[in-house]
Amino acid sequence: MSAGVRPTTTPGLHHRGTSWWNQLWRPFWALPAALIVASAALGLTLPYLDTGDLPYVFSGGADSARTVLSSIIGGMISLTGLVFSITMVVLQQASSQFTPRILRQFLEARVVQVTLGVFTGTFVYGLTVLRTVQSANDGNDVTFVPQVSVTVAMVFVLVSVALFIAFIAYIMRSVQVSQVITDLTRATRDVVLRFEESADAPPRTAWSAPGGARADELLNGDRQGYVVAIRADDLARLAATHGVVVELELAIGQHVAPGARLGRVWHLPGDGGGDGADLDGTDLAGLRDAVRLEDDRLLTNDPMFGLRQLVDIAERALSPGVNDPTTAVQVVDFAETVLRAAGSLADPAPVLVDDDGHPRVVYRPWTFERMLALAVDEISRYGGSSPRVQRSLHDLLTSIEPAVRTEHAVLVRRWIRELEAHNAPEDVDEDEDADA
């Protein structure tokens, strides 16, 4: 019987936030579609339960009910078009002013999805209720006015008005660069802090194949996309069963082309645990499927992606067409929050072992060194002619140097020397105008 797999708290390895339920509601259209279906179902069933003669409900006749419902239908479809137009303008502005990679965060905002869903749902509800209004003047045997249903339609309008106000407030907030930077920083820091490991975490030492080990290539197949999560539990379970080590040559956020090599499966000499049997096609397919690919990178398990978006905003601000070093300095200021969080933790362990101490999964985690290089290198190059940007980067490094772990402080000091070597002393030293 194979050994159990020692658990890890690395969220990317646990496939955090990618359950089938979250997958179901991730598309932009999912929640609006659900609200539309619910509204249609309510509009189809509520008139049949409408008993009438209730207090505080619509008390008009059939003609009045038709007028009210027709007004609601016409107004809601116009308002839905307005909201859709505003959304498109904001998406275009965010893409051109900040970075195209923040569009997913905007589209995933529940206030946008709920607003569109309720508006279109109110329209559909009004249509379904309107068809049930009957009048003797129309040749019907009886007159039927769904008073409760019409009242509910009016309540829907009030809810829609409240949502429209909330939507406008969200739009005004979301186009402010300071708010975009703040939201990205908070989300990225939260992802970083989820990597804090417990006392029984796997060893941090790197792994290398012993002499005499035999390796089989693990190929990607026909898929392509970015690595958004690695189900290490599935990988480790298969590896422990067969007594092998799965070495992945990729990191979360890396792009994988069709047919590319994902890694290698090492068959160890001697007793590596497990049954020692070779992996068949089904096993190899299971290993491939444990590496989840999507068309876009996700911040859920990839703090490097959050920092990438912050750096993109700074680089666009420093481009000749924009020339906004203040925004770049603001990005550097907020990047300190992310780097402090990452620097307070040890780098995620690259090896997952089983209960018997056998290595089972090896992968490339994000490291503080990579995050620091991403935050400093490109901004320092694009902002090479701006003393404010260089001074801000220098202040960032000198601020976090005493706050990070000893092994990370060595890297910070290396970057401080790099900045000082490529800039005049007055460009990196603080002066009385540094905060102007």
When computed from its CA atoms, the radius of gyration of the chain, rounded to whole angstroms, is 29
Residue type, 254: Q
pLDDT at 281: 76
Q: Tokens 């018997």: give the residue.
A: 356
Q: Which residue has the higher pLDDT, 105 or 20?
A: 105
What's the CATH number for 214-294? 3.90.1170.30
Domain ranges of the chain: 20-176, 188-198+299-428, 214-294
- Asked if the model's pLDDT at residue 329 lies above 90, the reply is yes
pTM for this one? 0.81
CA dist., res. 275 & res. 107, Å (int): 48
Tokens at 348, concatenated: 């995620």
User: Which residues, 6 or more positions from 84, have their beta carbon under 8 angstroms from its beta carbon?
Assistant: 116
Ranking 15-19, 132-136, 378-382 by mean pLDDT, the lowest is 15-19
Specify the amino acid at residue 68: V
Cα–Cα nearest to 343, from 391, 393, 413, 390: 413
The pLDDT score that the predictor gives to residue 427 is 56
At 206, list the tokens.
């790197």
Provide the token pair at 213: 């080990």
A 10 A CB-CB count for 296 gives 11
Tokens of 107: 């589209």
Count Cβ atoms within 10 A of the Cβ of residue 425 and give its class: 0-12 exposed, 13-18 middle, 19 or more buried.
Answer: exposed
Q: In angstroms, rounded to a whole number, what is the distance separating the alpha carbons of residues 141 and 68?
A: 23
Confidence of residue 181 (pLDDT cuts 50, 70, 90): very high
Do residues 18 and 234 make contact, with C-beta atoms less than 8 angstroms apart? Answer: no
> For residue 15, what pLDDT band results from cuts at 50, 70 and 90?
very low
**Nearest-CA neighbor of 327 among 309, 336, 314?**
314
Mean predicted confidence (pLDDT) in 144-163: 92
Buried b (16+ CB within 10 A) or exposed e, 346-371: ebbbbbbbbeeebbbbbbbbbbbebb
The answer to whether 206 and 363 have CB atoms below 8 angstroms apart is no
Closest CA to 149 of 34, 75, 62, 80: 62
Mean pLDDT score of the chain: 84
Exposure string over 198-237, b if 16+ CB within 10 A, otherwise e: eeebbeeeebebeeebeeeebebeebebbbbbbbbbbbbb
Q: What is the pLDDT of residues 32-85, one digit of tens each?
A: 899 999 999 998 898 888 766 667 677 788 889 899 999 999 999 999 999 889
Contact, 3 vs 273, CB < 8 A? yes
What does the pLDDT average to over 276-291? 79
pLDDT tens digit sequence for 354-394: 777 788 888 888 899 999 999 999 999 998 888 999 999 99
The torsion of the CA quartet 319, 325, 326, 329, rounded to 10 degrees, works out to: 100
Q: Is 380 helix (H, G, I), strand (E, B) or coil?
A: helix
